[in-house]
């Protein structure tokens, strides 16, 4: 067995999962490092973390028409791979838009630029009924594919309840009027209805889970390589 093949394999098996989890891992590190700050005491720039409640009248969610302060709906499609297996891919995502958070010391606008929602509950539909199909048709998502075969879809709704305390992690934008928090192209902001500890733990789990199988495979391959080398 050639050594160059071994090292190339090890390089990709280690770096690949890190690249795949880079965004979530960076959010975890930022959340772990940045303290929660009162809105009235926010710094001049940089990443910040605030808690508070959404300052707005309740609205209706898109999927279930439930009362909420904020909603996000996502449609995922199962796409088969060329060599067997497959993966769930997000094909549609929409939310209720930007909102204002109040923590009793001040208010700040939260920009809705494709945030990462870390929620302790979500509603998922896999067996589509007629009302869900009609909703998907109205937003341009087809539930049937080639020759009329049903697509394998998941419709997920995530809600923040009226008066529910939330945590927002993002980058301060003082150039805007009013001052706002958003993410950037590489790392999205995080909006969560969990506690700080729960959210950090959830981000860590999301970052580490995709690495487990590849790294176990790398360890098995390393053991096999050493065994063959020492025979």
Give me the average pLDDT of each 10-residue run along the chain (231 residues): 62 68 76 88 88 95 94 91 73 92 93 80 90 92 80 93 92 75 77 88 79 72 69 67
Rounded to an integer, what distance in angstroms lies between the CA atom of residue 41 and that of residue 49? Answer: 11
Q: Give how far the C-alpha of residue 52 lies from the chain's centroid of Cα atoms, to the nearest Å.
A: 20
With tokens 């048709």, the residue in question is: 137
Q: Return d(Cα 213, Cα 17) in angstroms, integer.
A: 10
Give the pLDDT confidence score for residue 174 in this predicted structure.
Answer: 72
Domain ranges of the chain: 1-33+195-231, 38-194
* Residue 70 CB partners (closer than 8 Å, separation 6+): 54, 59, 95, 96, 99, 159, 160, 191
Determine the pLDDT at residue 112: 78
CA distances from 106 to 47, 50, 160, 211 (A): 18, 11, 20, 40
pTM for the model stands at: 0.76
What pLDDT is stored for residue 17 in this prediction? Answer: 67
- Confirm if 199 and 192 have CB atoms less than 8 A apart: yes
- As a whole number of angstroms, the distance between CA 82 and CA 8 comes to 23
């Amino acid at each position: 067995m050639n050594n160059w093949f071994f090292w190339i394999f090890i390089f990709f098996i280690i770096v690949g999962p890190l690249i795949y989890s880079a965004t979530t891992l960076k959010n975890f590190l930022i959340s772990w490092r940045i303290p929660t700050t009162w809105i009235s005491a926010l710094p001049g720039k940089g990443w910040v973390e605030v808690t508070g409640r959404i300052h707005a009248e309740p609205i209706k969610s898109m999927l279930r028409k439930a009362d909420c302060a904020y909603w996000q709906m996502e449609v995922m499609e199962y796409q088969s791979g060329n060599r067997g297996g497959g993966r769930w891919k997000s094909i549609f995502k929409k939310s209720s838009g930007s909102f204002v958070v109040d923590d009793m010391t001040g208010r700040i606008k939260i920009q809705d630029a494709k945030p990462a929602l870390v929620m302790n509950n979500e509603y998922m539909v896999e067996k589509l009924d007629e009302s869900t199909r009609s909703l998907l048709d109205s937003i341009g998502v087809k539930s049937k594919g080639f020759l009329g075969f049903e697509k394998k879809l998941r419709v997920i709704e995530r809600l923040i309840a009226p008066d529910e305390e939330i945590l927002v992690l993002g980058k301060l934008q003082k150039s805007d009027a009013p001052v706002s928090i958003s993410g950037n192209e590489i790392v999205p902001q995080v909006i969560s209805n969990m506690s700080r500890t729960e959210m950090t733990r959830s981000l860590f789990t999301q970052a580490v889970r995709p690495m487990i199988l590849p790294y176990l495979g790398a360890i098995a391959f390393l053991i096999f390589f050493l065994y063959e080398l020492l025979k």
